[in-house]
Amino acid sequence: MIRIFYFFTILIISSFSLFNCSSKVVNKNKEPIDKILSKTKKLFYKEKFYKVITYLEPRINRYNGEKKLDSLMYFLGIAYLEEKEYEKAENEFRKITQIFRESPLRPYAQYYLAQVYMRRLPDPQRDQTITKMALRELMFFTELYPDHPLISLVKEDIRICRNNLAQKAYLNGYFYYKTKEYSAAKIYFLDVINEYFDTKWVDNATAKLVLCYIYLDDIDNARKYYELLKTLKLDKQSKQDYKKIRLLIKQKGIKL
């Protein structure tokens, strides 16, 4: 059964008179665009995304400058996305956002432009370039369409991206922490606290940062972030680190 969100956007395509980037070109040697769009919708309803691609690819360029071209590009973009042809999907959605600025489909194209990257989010241990690209497109959506019906989905994806980036920064810091390179480790833990303060990794990073400063004999900064740590909700790992901090304070005779 076709995804309900796709069904919703089909209703939008059916209900609105979409943006026309120029006057309609009359050409008796090609099928009317409404006929192409109708056939595309039928394939789309059946989730035959590969057939949408093979049907539209040899035809879509014949309709440059025509009304409802953005609809064909939108269907083609989603079909590419479902078939994991991500570069082609990105190309279609980006063209809609850049060329069809008054189209009702533009917000949806912007959303799916972000989904091109969200579908490929790497594990937090790996390079996070794609995560940053997804976050960029999602944040752009919030700037353009803060009251759009999709905003709750966009904010959830933003949360996922920021948590992944925070975890990556934490893991980088933890690597240096385990090798006792505390000066390097604290850079990453500070990054988590300063850049990803709203994520679930901030308590772990703060606890480890306090330990780094204690080991570096930087008591002023240890005290500063120890006070922050006491205001946070701690998970199992950060609670263990908190106990370690208390033990070090006692052993070293430090007043935090």
Report how far Cα 143 is from the mean position of its chain's Cα atoms. 14
Confidence (pLDDT) at 25 = 47
**Mean pLDDT of the 199-214 span:** 97
Confidence (pLDDT) at 173 = 98
Q: If you average pLDDT over every residue of the chain, what do you get?
A: 90
Confidence (pLDDT) at 94 = 97
Question: Residue 11: is its pLDDT beyond 70?
Answer: no
**Mean pLDDT of the 117-134 span:** 96
**Mean pLDDT of the 49-75 span:** 93
Confidence (pLDDT) at 66 = 86
pLDDT tens for each residue of 209-249: 999 999 999 999 999 999 999 999 999 999 999 999 999 99
> 10: pLDDT confidence band, cut at 50, 70 and 90?
low
Question: Residue 208: is its pLDDT beyond 50?
Answer: yes
Confidence (pLDDT) at 21 = 44
Confidence (pLDDT) at 256 = 75
pLDDT tens for each residue of 16-26: 544 444 444 44
Name the more confident of 154 and 12: 154
Lowest mean pLDDT among 109-123, 150-164, 197-211, 238-252: 238-252
Confidence (pLDDT) at 51 = 97
